[in-house]
Amino acid sequence: MKKAVVAGSGIAGLASAIRLRNKGYSVLVLEKNAYPGGKLTQLSGNGYRFDAGPSLFTMPNLVTELFEISGKNPKDYFDYDQLDVLCNYFYEDGTRISAYKEIDRFAEEIDRNTKDSAEKVKKHLNKSKFIYRATEEQFLNRSLHKVRSFLSFSTVVSILKLPFLNIFRTMNQVNEKMFADSKTIRLFNRYATYNGSNPYKAPGILNIIPHLEFGLGAYLPKNGMHQITNSLVQLATDIGVEFRFDEEVISIETEGNKAKSVRTKAGNYEGDIVVCNADIHTVYEKLIPSAKKLAQVDKQERSSSALILYWGIGKEFPELDVHNILFTEDYKTEFDHLFESKTITQDPTIYINITSKKLKEDAPEGKENWFVMINVPSVYGQDWDTMIAEARKHILSKLSRNLGTDIEPLIEFEEQLTPQLIQDKTNSYKGSLYGTSSNNRFAAFFRHKNFSSEFKNLYFCGGSVHPGGGIPLALSSAKIIDKLIK
Ligand SMILES: Cc1cc2nc3c(=O)[nH]c(=O)nc-3n(C[C@H](O)[C@H](O)[C@H](O)COP(=O)(O)OP(=O)(O)OC[C@H]3O[C@@H](n4cnc5c(N)ncnc54)[C@H](O)[C@@H]3O)c2cc1C
């Protein structure tokens, strides 16, 4: 049996391992941590459970198809519910908007609470769907770096549609042209943060993202996001994938134009195929050192990072739902801090995820598990201790102001995840959440390809390579590799 070695057990590494096993390879996954899942992990304490990383789950079909191609019933491993409310939005003037999964209902909310009409919202979401349909096949499902990807009817159709995809204007320019009210503009600009980008720089084509929520739905696995990792590890184990934890890959040994083996402190593992799930910067810095490739990879701006405060809160807040956003009044300044001065604004937009709204076992009765996150810059040698202490104060005061309750005395459990910890835990360069940002219109083409042109049996998957970061795209990268390996 031919051998495949996968370096890293993030969501993309797990999906690649399952796909390679289904292709008939014997598969070994080497993971530096003692646990699988990379960013998609969990933590608990004091009776609270938290998903540590991703909280928004879209396109569950990309997970369930891994069970289906393995001849298993997904429901035996993994189940999820669709959310009726995608997000509750809070503004400093007291306006509250609920984004219902039904577009008509959401459009009415906007109509009632802002200067913008329901018609405009529906038009915007229709455009989002149009962009999705025009680009899905070409940009999300295939390698952008193989000539054959461009020799198809769907490519010709995509190219003809290019002038209508808003690549020559920024997301903010498109949204400002469509909407009159800063509340609506902020709501739609925020979708740029779904891949760690800046709406004032990223192209308008990123207006594809609302369609993922409004058109395809937002979901929550029945045992939390971490169930995605657990169920895929179970599936992989059931079909014969072997895992070795606490084994960091220190180099990929090559011979001629082939990757020959993968070396850890414990051993040297030969492979006919090698798949790297580690951040592409780490690959060229440490695993197959190449100053030239590293310089090319690092030319692209990194995505933003995050500060997360995991708080066990000794009270229930009926006005909050699973996903909640408390907006800054000055969104432009927030992004200038994130991407220009690499600091944190005094009035950051705050995201709160509360899985205990749906999963009662995630918090003691009458209490809630708050995952409180703000976007922060990636790591550029800042004084993080001071910045985080300041940010925590600003977060507390904004939450207390908007919710009309002093929050600090309610915190009975706290842990933090910082950009440096994200970097240390998952080898994500500069602690960025989504690899490189989409802050220029050619970003999709500059992201690293899913294969090596130097070593013909070496492949790359995960959020730092094509098609990009976030669970759905990381899963797509594994699917693209599956198609590339004959
Ligand atoms: C706080 C946070 C919130 C997020 N929110 C969302 C969200 O709501 N929705 C969404 O879709 N996405 C979200 N994301 C992004 C999403 O988590 C990632 O895009 C996705 O999980 C990336 O998966 P991956 O497989 O590429 O990499 P990772 O999860 O980074 O996994 C890489 C794995 O490789 C291992 N590794 C690295 N180097 C080596 C080595 N040398 N040897 C062995 N193993 C190695 C790491 O330890 C890790 O386990 C969020 C991320 C974070 C951190």
Give me the mean pLDDT over the 350-354 stretch. 98
**Which helix or strand (DSSP H or E) is residue 97 part of?**
strand 96-100
Task: Give 30's strand partners.
Answer: 7, 244
Q: Pick the more confident residue, 443 or 124.
A: 124
Distance CA 7, CA 166 (A): 37
For residues 110-131, b (16+ Cβ closer than 10 Å) or e, as one string?
Answer: beebbebebebbbebbebbbbb
pLDDT in tens, 230-248: 999 999 999 999 999 999 9
Nearest to 388 by CA among 359, 348, 351: 348
d(CA 154, CA 138): 7
Q: What is residue 446's predicted lDDT score, i.e. its pLDDT? A: 86
pLDDT computed for residue 100 by the predictor = 98
Domains present along the chain, CATH in parentheses? 3-39+225-300+439-484 (3.50.50.60)
Atom 26, ligand 1: residue with shortest CA distance: 462
Lowest mean pLDDT among 47-51, 145-149, 279-283, 466-470: 145-149
pLDDT at 49: 98
Q: Report how far ligand 1's centroid is from the alpha carbon of 430 (Å).
A: 13
**Which residue stretches of 7-102 are H helix?**
11-22, 61-69
Work out which ligand 1 atom sits closest to the CA atom of 463.
26
Q: Provide the 10 A C-beta neighbour count for residue 303.
A: 31
Nearest atom in ligand 1 to the alpha carbon of residue 471 is: 11
Centre of ligand 1 from the C-alpha of residue 425, in Å: 9
Res 150: pLDDT:
57
Provide mean pLDDT across the span 262-272.
98
For 217, phi and psi rounded to 5 degrees?
Answer: 100, 155
Could you tell me which of 407, 318, 311, 399 has the C-alpha nearest to residue 362? 311
Give the Å distance between the CA of 404 and the centre of ligand 1: 35
Within 206-286, strands assigned E span 219-221, 242-244, 249-255, 258-264, 268-270, 273-276
37 CA closest ligand 1 atom index: 49
Report CA-CA distances (Å) from 440 to 59, 178, 349: 25, 21, 23
- Provide residues with CB under 6 Å of ligand 1: 7-13, 30-33, 38-40, 53-56, 248-249, 277-278, 282, 306, 308, 422, 426-428, 433-434, 462-463, 469-471, 474
CB 103, CB 214: distance < 8 Å: yes
Mean pLDDT across the stretch 42-69?
98
CA distance 9 to 233: 9
pLDDT at 152: 65
Distances (CA, A) of 114 to 105, 107, 180, 183, 392: 14, 10, 9, 7, 30
Helix 61-69 vs helix 471-484: angle between axes, to the nearest 10 degrees?
40
Position in ligand 1 atom list of the atom nearest CA 36: 49
CA of 217 to the centre of ligand 1 (A): 22
Atom of ligand 1 nearest to the CA of 462: 26
Where residue 292 falls among pLDDT bands split at 50, 70, 90?
very high
Instruction: Give the nearest ligand 1 atom to 435 CA.
Output: 19
CA–centroid distance, residue 83 to ligand 1 (Å): 24
Asked if residues 274 and 481 have their Cβ atoms less than 8 Å apart, the reply is no
The predicted pLDDT at position 160 comes to: 62
What per-residue confidence (pLDDT) applies to 158? Answer: 67
81 neighbors 71 (Cβ within 8 angstroms):
no
CA of 282 to the centre of ligand 1 (A): 13
Q: Stretch 411-436: mean pLDDT, rounded?
A: 97
Nearest CA to ligand 1 atom 7: 54
The atom number, within ligand 1, closest to the CA of 30 reads 43
Residue 16 — pLDDT band, cuts 50, 70, 90?
very high
Q: Which amino acid is at 73?
A: N
State the distance from the centre of ligand 1 to the C-alpha of 319, rounded, in angstroms: 31
Whole-number pLDDT of residue 154: 67
Distance 155 CA to ligand 1 centre (A): 30
Q: Average pLDDT of 70-97?
A: 97
Q: Give φ, ψ of 368 to 5 degrees.
A: -140, 150
Tokens of 394: 């600003």
Of the ranges 139-143, 195-199, 201-205, which one carries the lowest mean pLDDT score?
Answer: 139-143
Q: Say if CB 99 and CB 89 are below 8 A apart.
A: yes
Ligand 1 atom with minimal separation from the 464 CA:
26
Task: State the pLDDT confidence band at 149, using cuts at 50, 70 and 90.
Answer: low
∠ at Cα 463 (204, 191), nearest 5°? 30
Residue 100 belongs to what H/E stretch?
strand 96-100
What does the pLDDT read at residue 486?
A: 82
Q: Give the per-residue pLDDT at 164.
A: 72
In sequence order, the β-bridge partners of residue 242 are 28
CA of 307 to the centre of ligand 1 (A): 15
Spell out the residues 6+ positions from residue 486 whose beta carbon is closer than 8 angstroms to its own. none
Rounded Cα distance, 221 and 475, in Å: 16
H or E element that contains 473? helix 471-484
pLDDT in tens, 439-472: 988 888 789 999 999 999 999 999 999 999 999 9
User: Ligand 1: distance of its center to the CA of 426 in Å?
Assistant: 7
Average pLDDT for the chain: 95
Closest approach atom of ligand 1 to CA 308: 1
| Res 142: pLDDT | 72
Statement: residue 138 has pLDDT above 80: no
Using CA atoms, how far residue 265 sits from 81, 279, 281, 428, in Å, is: 42, 20, 21, 21
Which of 30, 39, 247, 475 has most ligand 1 atoms within 8 Å of its beta carbon, as the pocket-test mutant?
A: 39
**How much distance in Å is there from the Cα of 336 to the middle of ligand 1?**
25
Calculate how far, in angstroms, residue 118's C-alpha sits from the geometric centre of ligand 1: 37
Contact present, 460 and 284 (Cβ < 8 Å): no
Q: Which ligand 1 atom minimizes the distance to the CA of 417? A: 1
Reduced to 3 states, what is the DSSP secondary structure of residue 417? strand
Taking the centre of ligand 1 as the mean of its atom positions, its distance from the CA of residue 182, in whole angstroms, is 33
pLDDT at residue 144 greater than cutoff 80: no
242-244 and 26-30 as β-strands: parallel, antiparallel, unpaired?
parallel
Pocket test for ligand 1, best of 29, 209, 277 (most atoms within 8 A of CB): 277
Residue nearest to atom 1 of ligand 1 (CA): 53
Sheet with 26-30: list strands edge to edge: 242-244, 26-30, 3-7, 273-276, 458-460
Q: Could you report the per-residue pLDDT of 26-53, keeping only the tens digit for each?
A: 999 999 999 999 999 999 999 999 999 9
Overall average pLDDT of the 90-100 stretch: 98
| pLDDT at site 157 | 66
Amino acid occupying residue 133: R
